[in-house]
Amino acid sequence: SKPAEAVKNAVKTASGKIADALTPEVPGAPGSAPPTVEEPTTPHDPLPPKPEQGAPRTRTPTGAETGAPATANGQQGAYLTTAQGARLRDTDHSLKAGPRGPVLLQDHHLREKITHFDHERIPERVVHARGAGAHGVFTAYGTAEAVTRAGFLKKGRETDVFVRFSTVLGSRGSADTVRDTRGFATKFYTDEGTFDLVGNNMPVFFIQDAIKFPDIIHAAKPHPDREIPQAQSAHDTFWDFVSLHTEAQHHTIWNMSDRGIPRSYRTMEGFGVHTFRLVNEAGETVLVKFHWKPKLGVHSLTWEEAQMLSGMDPDFHRRDLYDAIEAGAYPEWELGIQVLPDTPEETFADIDLLDPTKIVPEELAEVQPIGKLVLNRTPTNFFAETEQVAFHLGHLPPGIDVTNDPLLQGRLFSYVDTQLTRLGGPNFSQIPINRPHAAVNDMLRDGFHQQAVHAGVAPYRPNSLDGGNPFPAGDDEHAFLDVPVTVAQAPKVRANPASFDDHYSQARLFWLSMSPVEKEHIIRAYTFELGKCYHQAIKERQLQSLANIDPVLCAEVATGLGLPAPQPTEPLADVTPSPALSQVGGEWPSDGRTVGIVVDPDGDLDSIDEVRRAVFEAGMVPLLIAPHGGLVGDLPVQRTFATGRSVEFDAVLLAGAPAPAPDAVPAPDAKAAKAGKAAKAGPAAVDPRVLLLVEECWRHAKAIGAWGAGVTVLEQAGVAGTPGIVTAGSGAEALTAVRQLMAAHRVWERFPASVA
């Protein structure tokens, strides 16, 4: 390696002597001696992984650092300094010519502080701007080993992950509980390279070809003139597009269903949407669809709860995710795959697997669990992690490959492209949250925000000057395999396969798979959203699509809109419902759910602590609600009648009947008395805010339990004796009965259902 050494030394000593030093020694240079080193053919002296490739720093739910460096909080000492490390005496006063004088331009600290602040914001994501993230671990069951060579899916392998959940339409500051699709993007930091599964909580998409993504998003985002409405699909441009562009109808009915308003990120399913191709050690392939199944079941808010929460707690989902993890109620999902044969037609049971507006019903191809995801760490810094994380469908490990789904193909371009402006250049994979946990040895160099100090002189191949590094990996060295799928000889066209023309059969399948109460919710959602449109022609056009999905659905929505229901323009598809699509039915764990306990400070407080502990021991969050903050007895109050509202709780226990506050708005009876009418004799008045809480919980089909004086509240609210209302002899009994009701998520029979 002498000549190479000589070149390096020459460069180092530099200053005019380089040419002299180079001439006689460069191998192959005219007049030089024949080369003494052979062209390297095997890897040796590989460059070590770059120092900054370590895992992003994390901490446990209690805030303790996990293996973090000494600079864990991003700061390196006790004293305030400038960005250059000079200690500062004062950061509260600009440098002035005297206390009353003008500010001096020479104040470099003032300018550094304000300039940095001026540039603190980066562009929000063009879609999925509003999100919340968490770290976790994925453990493989090994059940996928037969169909994929992916190392992280081998039995028992544990892989660090970061998940970002999101809404699609709203801006960064918009409310969490709007009616929308939710993003479910997972970054697996596998030791064979990062794998991003960038999915949604719905298994289908509005469009079949990525070229239409700007169209659907322009239609769904706020109107360009007034920039309203924020984070809503209930407006003319959205319904204009989806009623004209009927391939969107399947995704749209999912949005109008309860799936559009999840109770929590923890209670959402996730879907990879597209069909992917897996390849095993033998080179054999299968087609798969990815599913995330939440341990807690799939649950939603009611529309009224969602609307109230948008005002009362716009951060409801973000808070819920954070609080659950901090409380140790770690959210869990199983990752599953539907395994489908890789045939030349790329269809299964006549379903075109390249059409992202179609599902494969689970009854036709079972979802087989292949691993478990546990989210167990909250981010340390929202911007550094949740905002700067960058997902991309092309981040694939060996064993997982893409298909020709035209939506997927366009996404392969879009995700890297968008980061160039959002994260300021091509080096976004060096941002801590995006760093692979596998060793990186690329030949990518320079660019905005380059963090690495690359050694070596030869970021090209082939080379001899860096010992031939980096070397391509062979098949047995975990190299990525582009599956050599045969590409059919066909003319170059801008066209879809004929099977993509079926726009209604699976929307109808979805509708017919719903329980009566879910159908009722869908009818109400369409009626609300179309009712918010101004253009009559748009409503009529959408009713036409509903008629093609199902005449009953169409008739009910038409009634709500006060319009005639049109006849179908195409024969109704003959479909077999898929019970797996319904959320109603089954029993689910109550981990991390919230139980409000209403107490009367002047009432019987004996069993309150015991009930509170029992709620906690059942893995749920007890929140004491009282007329005032501070303590009731010796128990801390978490919510007052001013700060607590029904929508925050999954169930309510009434331990007492608090009297109205002395300065409260008079109760209806008192008003009657004032008007000279006789007030009805009855039990002592209850604070109207407690009655409101009970009425709302009842309307939202939540379990309510009462004992002792609490029973009076049920009577005064007029809900005693109705389904899902428990009157018990003790707090312990009430909690047991309420927990049983909570297992079904809601007291479903309380919802009206006009459609069978």
The residue among 680, 206, 677, 189 whose CA lies nearest residue 432 is: 189
Residue with tokens 């984070």: 231
* 415 annotated as belonging to a binding site for a ligand: yes
Rounded to whole angstroms, how far apart are CA atoms 237 and 739? 44
- In the list 50, 57, 125, 221, the residue contacting ligand HDD (rule: CB under 6 A) is 125
279 binds ligand HDD (CB under 6 A): no
Nearer to ligand HDD, 176 or 466 (CB): 176
* 411 annotated as belonging to a binding site for a ligand: yes
* 213 annotated as belonging to a binding site for a ligand: yes
Strand segments, DSSP code E, in 357-423 are: 368-377, 400-401
- Do residues 317 and 128 touch, judged by C-beta distance below 8 A? no
Nearer to ligand HDD, 22 or 217 (CB): 217
128 binds ligand HDD (CB under 6 A): yes
Half-sphere exposure of 161 (CA within 13 A, CB side): 30
- Cβ 152 to ligand HDD, closest distance in Å? 20
* 205 annotated as belonging to a binding site for a ligand: no
166 binds ligand HDD (CB under 6 A): yes
Nearer to ligand HDD, 125 or 700 (CB): 125
Counting residues that bind ligand HDD (by CB under 6 A) gives 26
Measured CA angle at 248 (ends 242, 249), to 5 deg? 90
- Do residues 360 and 121 touch, judged by C-beta distance below 8 A? no
Nearer to ligand HDD, 260 or 627 (CB): 260
- Cβ 542 to ligand HDD, closest distance in Å? 22
Nearer to ligand HDD, 356 or 399 (CB): 356
- In the list 68, 126, 458, 755, the residue contacting ligand HDD (rule: CB under 6 A) is 126
318 binds ligand HDD (CB under 6 A): no
356 binds ligand HDD (CB under 6 A): yes
183 binds ligand HDD (CB under 6 A): yes
Cα 726 to chain centroid, rounded: 35
Q: What is the 3-state secondary structure (H, E, C) of 575-600?
A: CCCCHHHCCCCCCCCCCCCEEEEECC
Nearer to ligand HDD, 3 or 203 (CB): 203
* 422 annotated as belonging to a binding site for a ligand: yes
Rounded to whole angstroms, how far apart are CA atoms 89 and 558? 70
Stretch that binds ligand HDD, among 120-128, 339-347, 371-379, 676-684 (CB under 6 A): 120-128
Q: Which residue is nearest to ligand HDD (CB)?
A: 183
Mention every residue, 6+ apart, whose C-beta is less than 8 A from residue 384. 56, 431, 432, 433
185 binds ligand HDD (CB under 6 A): yes
Site for ligand HDD in 364-403 (CB under 6 A): 389-391
Count of Cβ atoms closer than 10 Å to residue 717 Cβ: 20
Count of Cβ atoms closer than 10 Å to residue 116 Cβ: 10
Mention every residue, 6+ apart, whose C-beta is less than 8 A from residue 287. 275, 276, 277, 278, 339, 340, 341, 342, 346, 348, 353, 403
164 binds ligand HDD (CB under 6 A): yes
- Do residues 733 and 710 touch, judged by C-beta distance below 8 A? no
* 460 annotated as belonging to a binding site for a ligand: no
Active-site annotation, residues: 128, 200
Nearer to ligand HDD, 309 or 408 (CB): 408
Q: Which residues of 118-130 are buried (b: 16+ CB within 10 A; e: fewer)?
A: eeeeeebbebbbb
- In the list 3, 131, 193, 660, the residue contacting ligand HDD (rule: CB under 6 A) is 131
Site for ligand HDD in 428-447 (CB under 6 A): none
Site string for ligand HDD, 196-235 (x = CB under 6 A): --xxx----x----x--x----------------------
- Cβ 407 to ligand HDD, closest distance in Å? 5
Measured CA angle at 153 (ends 149, 155), to 5 deg? 110
Q: Which residues of 598-633 are buried (b: 16+ CB within 10 A; e: fewer)?
A: bbbbebebebbeebbebbeebebbbbbbbbeeeebe
Which helix (H) or strand (E) segment holds residue 291: the answer is strand 285-294
- Do residues 236 and 535 touch, judged by C-beta distance below 8 A? yes
- In the list 411, 435, 478, 612, the residue contacting ligand HDD (rule: CB under 6 A) is 411
From residue 471, alpha-carbon distances to 302, 333, 442, 454, 731 in Å are 57, 38, 10, 17, 69
262 binds ligand HDD (CB under 6 A): no
Stretch that binds ligand HDD, among 193-201, 296-304, 339-347, 363-371 (CB under 6 A): 193-201
Nearer to ligand HDD, 253 or 632 (CB): 253
Instruction: Give the bridge partners for 629, in sequence order.
Output: none
- In the list 95, 236, 409, 415, the residue contacting ligand HDD (rule: CB under 6 A) is 415
Residues lying near ligand HDD in the complex (CB under 6 A): 125-128, 131, 164, 166, 183, 185, 198-200, 205, 210, 213, 273, 356, 389-391, 407, 410-411, 414-415, 418
**Residues of each annotated binding site for heme:** 125, 164, 213, 411, 415, 422
**Residues of each annotated binding site:** 125, 164, 213, 411, 415, 422
